Chain A
Amino acid sequence: MDVQELRKEFTQLDEKVYGKPLVYLDNAATSLRPRGVVSKWVELSERYSANIHRAVHHISSIATEEYEHARETVAAYLNVSPGEVVFTSGTTASVNLAAFSFGEAFVGEGDEIIVSESEHHSDLVPWQMMCERKRAVLKVLEVDEEGRLRIDELGSMISRRTKLVCVTHVSNVLGLVNPIKAIAEICHSHGCRLLVDGAQGAVHGHPDLKDLDCDFYAFSGHKMYAAPGTGVLYGKKELLDAMPPYMGGGEMVGSVKWSGTTYAPVPLKFEAGTQNFAGAPTMVPAIRMLELMEDAEIERNIDEITAYLLEELPKIPGLRLYGIPGEAYGQDFRKIPLFSFSVEHCHHEDLALILDKMGIALRSGQMCAEPLMDRFGVTGMLRASFAPYNTMEETGYFLSSLKKAIKMLEA
């Protein structure tokens, strides 16, 4: 399949901004949605709007089937069982659920949680909140100058009080793929659990959670081509079973009496209230799209873009790239097509503003990772994040526009 063919599936790529063709390089914030996802969404809204799991009527059973079929599809894609897939509204909701319920079940005063320095606020603040509530201690696993996670330090950081380690599969700032399998081995051999923020990792590469062996994996639908307001928390069955519910409400119950309530089995125990029944089923066409992208030609295109930018960006005077791929601590840190950088004497916001007027959408600021900004001593960065539908031509245009913008600011 060639990229031009793939681009036809994403209608937003034809948009113009300020009369210029849109060059969408903010895919890490949210991806675009392919026709298949949009039409599934519309179909469910137009034809199969009914509350799921509740009524016996025909339309409700179709909607329920669509929803549960999505759960099965997600489970098969991740190589786990459907009973381990909890639908949420996104990564943030998934991590908050995990933080609350895991905290209630397993964390007490003086216990420890380890998070990495490169976490998105969504995989950081919920742990701070939980540690405060439980009087537990939050410890930080650092990254080095290259942005590589210091997994050599992890083993000695884990104590008998450590209950959980939380790391991102791929940082939304650094774009390096963390060696999750190795991290899981370290955690498990030291008797603690591992939660992985898969918001970026679920999009670039096809995670096999049985193989990675993490205990939790959280991600968002909207970054992997599905509808916004959809997401997943995967958790190992025995853990989910042992954790109390996060929210109480309709659908998550077995029986409700004044004398007390019993809960539905997982995953429904964690899905209180009316769920996103039009959104969750779009995970099915979204996963089809991800599988379609596992294509030699498509992969070659995006690999070429990555290699080209890794070569060209550092040549720009004053530019510093964060997250350098390579070998460290016995692991290979691969780079996804996500490039955060700063340019000396140019404020990231100025660059983003000028590039916007050139038709290029990218991200500037702290990128919800303030501790990481502090780590590198910057108030913010600029980030260009690519998807398989981006072309080499767009990449060239981005580079020349960036150089032009830098000139404008320097002149």
Chain B
Amino acid sequence: MKTLKERQDELVEEFSMFDDWLDKYEYLIDLGKNLEPFPEELKTDDRLIKGCQSRVWLDAEAKDGAIVFRADSDAIITKGIISMLISVYSGRRAEEIAGDDFSFVDRLGLKENLSPTRANGLVSMLETIRNIAQNNR
């Protein structure tokens, strides 16, 4: 498994290859579509991430000392974004996630290019992941 830093750098590089925002969206849409199916029964209110315009569910499960994340959203670009975050954080130990400064998102240039509500959603997603990690330490 790549280190957290390696995976983040890899993503930042992949993302920087597109110079047009529509291409970045195409990429996120692809990620969203390829996200592993999320069980319907997990779509409960306590798994909803607050602060997003669209609905985003995040499920976290402790497995062999690591946290496995699964997620879904009714909006595909949001789904792509949460899928990206999962690909970075899922399967890692709580200490490692909680210790991250989450600054790779700034390097992606995502926040300033999303509408304010969407950017808020992204911030909420990161906070939720961080909180889960801290509570599982």
B74 touches A408 (CB 8 A): no
A309 at the interface (CB under 8 A from B): no
Stretch in B7-15, B20-28, B35-43, B93-101 with 4+ CB within 8 Å of A:
B20-28
A352 to B53, CA, bound (A): 12
A357, B54: Cβ atoms under 8 Å?
A: no
Interface residues of chain B: helix, strand, loop or mixed (majority): helix
* Distance of A230 Cα from B58 Cα, bound (Å): 43
Contact A354 B54 (CB under 8 A): no
The stretch that binds A, out of B61-69, B75-83, B123-131, is B75-83
Does A408 contact B21, Cβ atoms closer than 8 Å?
Answer: no
Q: A347-B74, A353-B77 are in contact. Are A365 and B53 (CB under 8 A)?
A: yes
Q: Hey, which chain A residues are within 8 Å of B55, CB to CB?
A: 379
Interface size class of A (residues with CB under 8 A): 10 to 19
Are A408 and B115 in contact (CB-based, < 8 A)? no
Nearest residue, chain B, Cβ from A18: B21
Most central of B26, B76, B118 by chain A CB within 10 Å: B76
**Min C-beta distance of A100 to chain B, whole Å:** 31
Q: Is the CB of A357 within 8 A of B22?
A: yes
Contact B21 A379 (CB under 8 A): no
Q: Is the CB of B29 within 8 A of A409?
A: yes
Chain A residues with Cβ below 8 Å from B53 are: 349, 364-365, 380
Chain A residues near B75: list those with CB within 8 A: 347, 349-350
> In the complex, which of the residues A18, A349, A379, A380 contacts B77, with contact meaning CB atoms closer than 8 Å?
A349
- Per the bound structure, the CA–CA distance linking A380 and B78 in Å amounts to 15
Docked-complex contact A357 and B21, CB < 8 angstroms: yes
* Nearest Cβ on chain A to B73's Cβ, whole angstroms: 8
Q: Is A356 an interface residue (CB 8 A)?
A: yes
**Besides A350-B29, A357-B22, A408-B25, 9 new A-B residue pairs in contact (Cβ under 8 A), listed by A number:** A347-B76, A349-B54, A349-B78, A350-B75, A350-B78, A353-B114, A354-B77, A357-B21, A408-B26
Which B residues contact A (CB, under 8 angstroms)? Answer: 21-22, 25-26, 29, 53-55, 74-78, 114-115, 117-118
Ranked nearest first, the 9 interchain pairs of A and B with the lowest CB-CB distance are: A347-B75, A357-B21, A349-B75, A349-B54, A350-B77, A350-B75, A350-B76, A349-B53, A357-B22
Q: List residues of chain A with CB under 8 Å of any chain B CB.
A: 18, 347, 349-350, 352-354, 356-358, 364-365, 379-380, 408-409, 411
Some 25 contacts from A to B, beta carbons below 8 A apart, are A347-B75, A347-B76, A349-B54, A349-B77, A350-B75, A350-B77, A350-B78, A352-B115, A353-B25, A353-B77, A353-B114, A353-B115, A353-B118, A354-B22, A358-B22, A364-B53, A365-B117, A379-B54, A379-B55, A379-B74, A408-B26, A408-B29, A409-B29, A409-B76, A411-B29
